Structure 1
């Protein structure tokens, strides 16, 4: 497989991973350079560069500027020139300049495009509300990951990824992701244990407060799963007096969007406190 194909495969993998990254593409070169126009690489959040854009004179500048682009979430064009040709931080045409000490003396222009982490929703269960969440979340740009053992209808297969196991689906969740339990009487305890073992920034359960309290009391005897019990929001969703499955799914997505827009979903504690306030006593 060509290096460029490997880089494209990595981009697709990262798009579904819930992590931000930056795509670097060489758009123009002048004089001798080891990498040519069209070459692509990926810079991940940890500052690692995957792909080939040339020697250290180029990759150092690319990694540094790519991390800045990830912070600002704004694309940028940079120009890397021999150090004796750089007399200012910005070129005459407004392009940011970086010095190169490479003996080849070539100039490289690189376009950096930050790719924000894909919003993801993990759904455990195959109830009517779970099925509606797959459709609704997908319609507003979320990548949906389902855990639906025993899904007789097969409708949960409409999710972007569908596991026949609660734990496998829950293990996909990261701090910036939301996880919803909508088992509604079918293997509730198993799903709740899987959710409590996840890293999801938001955990919501479609259940009455009374039902959740009963489940929580049973699970509280297991020290492995008690740490995050206070982070579970039951019932999940904003209080919009929802009754129908579609309305309940809408209230859940409304709450998740509210938290994300407030910048709270990455902080499990803050998200938990604010969500409980929004949901009421």
Structure 2
């Protein structure tokens, strides 16, 4: 059984490696329980516990289910494992959630209570920018302080210098990308629009956008459909990119795009869906 310090060391290593996992922490126990307050465990997306311990089968199933859900939506949750008679006194059934706490039944002979905080730790979200336009460079500069892993893809001859990004690709051939939630923006602005749009739409992402007018996107859409690209795939790309903030400068346009990405990224994480 790994000591808490060893678990925390591994947490730091996995964060640095941009791995997805859950850190489960026992925050309260009542009566006889296998694990005590302060016990921690690291759970991978496949459900395996790679370090630490939070007790045996009495709590494990409920915690693993909460871990899967936390990794899926990015939200932490509290799990309370209690004997059925105590759940009845609270007026809840196993599997129900009340006041932010998910309740589960402890069927073990010990009949103890354990409250476990389940915290997802996810890689930095990935922003993939295609193009070397002023908007593209401003978008990259603004995104990194906000915690994005930034990939910039553009022909090297279009870049005046080396931008401060996490990954720089010389062309629009994206290849292997950062494994995380992805947001893709085509900001070529006339230099390789078609090739960049094709590459962008081949990437699995939560958000695709094109920096340009609706009229330009319609013309590109018609041309690419005529060349055999699937219309449904083209319809993934929002154009023009960003919220309508009246933006004029490249910096303002980049800010409007990041604002729109933030809406998508945080959707459902403030207790209700963002509309």
Band of TM-score, shorter chain: 0.5 to 0.7
Report which stretch shifted further, 190-199 or 32-41.
32-41
2:160 maps to which residue?
153
Q: Distance in 2 between matches of 1:254 and 1:142?
A: 13
Distance 2:251 2:186 in 1: 15
- Cα distance change, pair 197–233 in 1 and its aligned pair in 2 (3 A): same
Q: Is the 8 A contact 1:193 1:225 kept in 2?
A: no
SS at 1:88's partner residue? helix
Aligned residues: 250
Please state whether the residue corresponding to 1:228 is helix, strand or coil. helix
Task: Tell me the equivalent position of 2:212.
Answer: 207
Instruction: Tell me the residue number matched to 1:132.
Output: 138
Alignment of 1:163-242 (within 5 A): 163-168=169-174, 172=178, 177-242=182-247
Unaligned runs of 5+ in 2: 91-100, 269-273
How far does residue 190 in structure 1 lie from its aligned partner after superposition? 1.9
Equivalent residue number for residue 73 of structure 1: 75
The separation in 2 between residues aligned to 1:90 and 1:67, in whole angstroms, is 26
Aligned with residue 99 of structure 1, among 84, 99, 106: 106
Cα drift, residue 22 of structure 1: 2.8
Equivalent residue for 1:278?
none
**C-alpha distance in structure 2 between counterparts of 1:159 and 1:91, whole Å:** 55
SS at match of 1:48: coil
1:246 deviation in Å?
0.9
User: TM-score w.r.t. structure 1 length?
Assistant: 0.65
Structure 1 equivalent of residue 47 of structure 2: 48
Q: What is residue 271 of structure 2 aligned with on the other side? A: none
RMSD: 4.4
Q: Distance in 2 between matches of 1:6 and 1:66?
A: 18
CA, structure 1 residues 13+28, in 2 after alignment: closer, same or farther (shift >3 Å)? farther
1:130 deviation in Å? Answer: 1.0
Alpha-carbon distance change, 195 to 69 in structure 1, aligned in 2, over 3 angstroms:
closer
1:123 aligned onto 2:129: yes
Flag the structure with higher helix content. 1
DSSP 3-state at the match of 1:61: helix
Q: Is the 8 A contact 1:197 1:225 kept in 2?
A: no
Deviation at 1:251, TM superposition (A): 2.4
**Cα contact 2:187–2:211 (8 A) shared by 1:** yes
